[in-house]
Amino acid sequence: MTTEAASQAASHAAEAASHGGFNLVPIVVLLGAAVIAVPLFKRLGLGSVLGYLAAGLAIGPFGLGLFSDPQSILHVAELGVVMFLFIIGLEMQPSRLWSMRGEIFGLGLLQVAVCIGLLTCVGLALGYPVPQSFVAGTGFVLTSTAIVMQMLEERRALGLPKGRRIVAILLLEDLAIVPLLALVAFLAPGGEDATLADRLTGVAIGLASITGLVLAGRYLLDPLFRLLGKAKAREVMTAAALFVVLGAALAMQLGGLSMAMGAFLAGVLLSESTFRHQLEADVEPFRGILLGLFFLGVGMSLDLSVIAANWRLIALAVVAYMVLKMLGIYAVARLFRASSREAVERAVLMAQGGEFAFVLYAAATAVGIIDAEANAILTATIIVSMALTPLMIILHDRLMPRPAPSMEGVEAAENLSASILLIGFGRFGQIVSQPLLGNSCSISIIETDTDAIRNAQDFGFKVYYGDGARLDILHAAGAGEARLVVIAVNDREASLKIAELIKAEFPLVPVLARSFDREHAIELINAGVEWQIRETFESALALGEKALELLNVDEEERERVVEDIRRRDSDRLAIEITDGIYAGRELIHGNAPVKGTPAGPGAAS
């Protein structure tokens, strides 16, 4: 099917649907594109953001042509970014935000200033006047909050110090849009004629919007939600949550500020509210859908005809802007004493232009600094950089060497000698060590987590660095001379490999092992360990016995039941070793008849 035919088919379908009332075709197409593309791209290791962008390009005016006006979708989808910032604000208590003031106005301000200077030089080098060069470069400096936040969330880095530093920079960039828009008006032909009173009025309106929002959040929001909570109407609470987010965004927009900044401030003001978790649960579904819609809209906005006509200029601009921006980010990060690894990761994450560039370029076009064609070229440059970011992250993760553990204050295992070798000193190994040390047994302990080793020293333990899955380390740790070896590592594959190595190299040394489930226990038994225990078995039995006690079951009956469970489990495990994981199911106390095969191994672990 050609693009024209697809477009005609879609229009006929839309027309047919509209005769029946509300037109569901666009909604179905958007949801279908996301449902197909995102899982596929995540399966390929390309990430959800690139999946949304590709889906948007496929169904947009320059793909199948199922949508002709992506800007209308983008305007609605920007609410996804707004709600994302609201949820981030809920995690930022005022005290925590105050503690970040140095990073926001120090690190953030310097990064923005350095990058503006570097990127303005690109336009000057290409022969453009200062106003055009400044606007083009500054738009690219404003990083995509949506993409970076999504990436940080997927990488589980939002709560880490490096993630908080990036959030601080993004907050400063949100604040910077206001003076930058004022500067665009000043740089416009005749803009210098604007009076000081006009500029002061604009600043005053912005400050008044922030003050009003802070006062409303301080004195009105919590009482409002407390009143609604007494009504016990969940749908009203959801409506109130959306009202707060969108109302705060609107207040900031009317004051000439960023909608995302308004939502963020509302989140911060509610971060210490007793309703914080309920608000987060209410807003989260809308945030996810609208943020996905935003990325779809960005993909649709990629004008392939503009790229085809100006591909050399766009390619040059994308490379120049991204490289210079990465250099600026890296230099500032190192100046603020970030590690080289963190500086590189921050530079890659923030190398693209962002959604606020569209606002800045539109304002510059409206006042005559750039024309419509330049706006289209710059917009395409931003979108291409946004589309390249997920690919750059993938390359970064694959090419960047894994960090070597710091050995400061840590000794490697060498020529150790003790009656017991304990491999792994996490939450399981620490408890295992207590009865052994309590009986004055000599014990050597090895662990691969250097932080855990240093922490153990504070509690009076001597732990050596060593990987029990390596034969040379086992020799150095004294496995051959030990009376027994205990495997307590938190990695099922590693524990099985360690067991196989020890039984092959030191067959006379007894091995005790921690197992994760029944399947892993059988693997360890087949590897030759003398005894294993599933890590949750005893604690689960203890909890079950306590539950019977609270149900007023007498002590003798409780002991009988628990002993019967132990016997049944032992008998079942013996059968499973020879007949497979599904054998002996009749020994399980179930609450439904056994029919067919369970959903998967590990059931009734």
Express each pLDDT in 44-60 by its tens digit.
766 677 788 788 888 88
Which range is least confidently modeled, 58-62, 72-76, 462-466? 72-76
Which of the four pLDDT bands, split at 50, 70 and 90, describes residue 76? low
Distance in angstroms (rounded) separating the CA atoms of residues 52 and 33:
8
What pLDDT, in 10s, does the model give residues 378-409?
888 988 888 888 889 888 888 888 776 667 77
The b-or-e profile of 170-184 (16+ CB within 10 A means b, else e) is bbbbbbbbbebbbbb
What is the residue type of 555? E
The per-residue pLDDT for 75 is 66
What is the DSSP track for 362-396?
HHHHHTTSS-HHHHHHHHHHHHHHHHHHHHHHHHH
Distance in angstroms (rounded) separating the CA atoms of residues 23 and 384:
32
Residues pairing with 484 in the sheet? 420
- Classify 169 as helix, strand or coil: helix
Which of the four pLDDT bands, split at 50, 70 and 90, describes residue 190? low
- Classify 416 as helix, strand or coil: coil
pLDDT at 237 over 90: no
pLDDT at 180 over 60: yes
pLDDT at 193 over 90: no
Average of pLDDT values for 245-266? 75
The per-residue pLDDT for 6 is 47
H/E stretch holding 444? strand 443-447
With 0-12 / 13-18 / 19 or more C-beta atoms within 10 angstroms meaning exposed / middle / buried, residue 276 is: middle
Q: Structure tokens of 160? A: 């880490």
% of the chain beyond a pLDDT of 70 = 83
Which range is least confidently modeled, 276-290, 379-393, 436-450, 480-494? 276-290
Residues pairing with 533 in the sheet? 514
Angle of helix 234-254 relative to helix 70-90, nearest 10 degrees, comes to 110
Q: Which range in 161-170, 215-224, 407-416 is most confidently predicted, on average pLDDT?
A: 161-170
Distance in angstroms (rounded) separating the CA atoms of residues 519 and 493:
12
- Going from the C-alpha of 97 to that of each of 86, 162, 220, 418, 581, the distances in angstroms are 14, 15, 21, 51, 53
CA dihedral 186, 189, 192, 197 (to 10 degrees): -70
Distance in angstroms (rounded) separating the CA atoms of residues 388 and 405:
31
What pLDDT, in 10s, does the model give residues 154-168?
887 877 788 888 988
Tell me if 147 sits within 8 A of 389, measured CB to CB: yes
Mean pLDDT, the chain, as a whole number?
Answer: 80
Task: Enter the pTM of the model.
Answer: 0.60
The closest of 446, 458, 451 to 415, measured between CA atoms, is 446
Computed on alpha carbons and rounded to an integer, the radius of gyration of the chain in Å comes to 31
pLDDT at 120 over 80: yes
What is the DSSP track for 24-88?
-HHHHHHHHHHHHHHHHHHHTTS-HHHHHHHHHHHHSTTTT-S-S-HHHHHHHHHHHHHHHHHHH
Distance in angstroms (rounded) separating the CA atoms of residues 453 and 462:
8
pLDDT at 578 over 90: no
Higher pLDDT, 106 or 264: 106
What is the residue type of 536? T
Phi/psi of residue 272, each to 5°? -105, 10
Average of pLDDT values for 104-132? 90
Query: What count of Cα atoms within 13 Å lies in the side-chain half-sphere of residue 257?
Result: 29
The per-residue pLDDT for 258 is 64
Q: For residue 150, give every residue at least 6 positions away whose Cβ sits within 8 Å of its Cβ, in sequence order, or none.
A: 48, 49, 84, 291
What pLDDT, in 10s, does the model give residues 1-46?
444 544 554 455 445 444 555 567 777 888 888 888 888 887 776 6
Q: Which range in 260-269, 402-411, 534-543 is most confidently predicted, on average pLDDT?
A: 534-543
What pLDDT, in 10s, does the model give residues 521-532?
889 999 999 999
H/E stretch holding 531? strand 531-534
Which of the four pLDDT bands, split at 50, 70 and 90, describes residue 497? very high
Residue 257 CB neighbours (<10 A): 24
